[in-house]
């Protein structure tokens, strides 16, 4: 796929209600001596961590704006748009990928009432972006350091700048942090997202500092991670959507058989009506509804504005695996 096409996708596409964005359309990959670091030092001292934790009051968390990437429009598809429906997704019959079963198209999403481990490992992510408070979603995963959170790449860095005041709040509800506010000591992303914000590699991670002498996994546990699982999988997606009609206070999920994006990206697709703020929320394969456990295999990333009932998430391939390995050993 031409890089200029991906640039257009990123500029208006990754899950951001932030007005007009100047994306890296057509940007060349920097030379080896100019490739930006994939690791960012955040709140790496006790004093900095305390400031971040105290910054995120219940009021600030409730008022944080969802950081969701604006959906790709039909016009952005150019010559690829001939068979794509026009108008709002709710007024047309979505185009189904070839060979997809009806299982891939359930009715939207809904609140997760199944309980289990996922209600403690998943949570909201809060940070400062361009002078305002913003939110995404994230998930604690098992790791060597016991302190790793996976999220979307644009939930740690966007338009060339790393987010600040980054904190993970597992089990968030009603402005409350039942398991604490975990400040990031480091945030990371894939080389492709860090360099050119390539939507196919929209994966991010954070290494959070211990809280009251305990590591994240000691308090909320962690989900397993899987890579190179392939397409057309039965998957569950979770997040805390905060854009209309949601308000960030409910833990929402979608499920179904995924399909490969046949328009611009190489991402997984699933039918899901989650909105902004759900970015970075986990996708699981082999998910057990009784225990709330699974293998995290993607994250909520972006939607097309003409098919708002579809959510897309990057494939966890070798680059995502490298990111996970770097994070969990940091």
| DSSP-assigned states of every residue in 188-249 | EE-HHHHHH--GGG--EEEEEPPBTTB-HHHHH--BEE-----SS-EEEEEE---STT--S-
Name the β-bridge partners of 234.
257
Q: How many CA atoms lie within 13 A of 19 on its CB side?
A: 1
DSSP 176: B
The stretch 126-144 carries a mean pLDDT of 96
Q: CA 164, 166, 168 angle in degrees (round to 5)?
A: 170
The pLDDT of residue 109: 77
Tokens of 189: 């992303």
Strand order in the sheet with 268-271: 259-260, 268-271, 307-313, 302-304
Tokens of 277: 């703020």
Q: How many CA atoms lie within 13 A of 81 on its CB side?
A: 15
Q: Which is more confidently placed, 85 or 121?
A: 121
The pLDDT of residue 173: 93
CB 196 within 8 A of CB 174: no
CB 169 within 8 A of CB 182: yes
Task: Report pLDDT digits (tens) over 172-214.
Answer: 999 999 999 999 999 999 999 999 999 999 999 999 999 999 9
Q: Which domains does the chain have, with CATH numbers?
A: 3-17+38-68+121-222+320-328 (2.40.10.10), 105-115+223-316 (2.40.10.10)
DSSP conformation letters of 35-88: PPPSEEE-S-SHHHHHHHHHH--HHHHHHPEE--PPPBPSGGGGGGGTTSPPS-
With bands split at pLDDT 50, 70 and 90, how would you rate the model's confidence at 63? very high
The pLDDT of residue 15: 55
Alpha carbon distances (Å) from 117 to 219, 292, 325: 12, 5, 23
Residue 314 CA to residue 330 CA, distance in Å, equals 23
Residues in the chain, total: 330
Q: For the chain, what is the mean pLDDT?
A: 82
């Amino acid at each position: 796929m031409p890089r200029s096409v991906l640039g257009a996708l990123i500029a208006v596409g990754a899950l951001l209600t932030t007005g007009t964005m100047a994306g890296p359309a057509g940007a060349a990959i920097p030379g080896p001596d100019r490739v930006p670091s994939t690791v960012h030092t955040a709140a790496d001292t006790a004093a900095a961590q305390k400031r971040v934790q105290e910054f995120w009051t219940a009021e600030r968390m409730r008022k944080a704006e969802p950081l969701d990437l604006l959906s790709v429009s039909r016009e952005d598809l150019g010559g690829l748009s001939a068979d794509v429906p026009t108008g709002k997704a709710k007024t047309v019959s979505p185009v189904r990928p070839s060979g997809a079963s009806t299982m891939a198209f359930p009715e939207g999403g809904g609140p997760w009432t199944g309980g289990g481990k996922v209600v403690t490992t998943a949570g909201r992510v809060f940070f400062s972006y361009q002078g305002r408070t913003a939110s995404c979603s994230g998930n604690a995963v098992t790791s060597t350091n016991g302190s790793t959170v996976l999220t979307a790449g644009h939930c740690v860095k966007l338009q060339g700048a790393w987010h600040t005041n980054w904190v993970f709040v597992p089990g968030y509800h009603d402005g409350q942090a039942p398991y604490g506010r975990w400040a990031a000591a480091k945030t990371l992303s894939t080389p492709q997202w860090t360099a050119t914000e390539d939507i196919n590699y929209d994966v991010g991670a954070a290494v959070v500092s211990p809280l009251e002498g305990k590591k994240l996994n000691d308090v909320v546990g962690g989900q397993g991670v899987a890579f190179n699982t392939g397409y057309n999988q039965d998957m569950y997606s979770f997040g805390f959507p905060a854009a209309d009609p949601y308000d960030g206070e409910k833990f929402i999920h979608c499920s179904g058989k995924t399909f490969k994006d046949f328009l611009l990206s190489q991402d997984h697709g699933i039918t899901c009506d989650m909105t902004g703020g759900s970015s970075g929320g986990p996708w699981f394969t082999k998910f057990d509804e009784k225990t709330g456990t699974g293998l995290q295999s993607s994250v909520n990333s972006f939607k097309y504005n003409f098919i708002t009932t579809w959510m897309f998430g990057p494939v966890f391939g070798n680059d995502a695996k490298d990111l996970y390995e770097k994070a969990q050993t940091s």
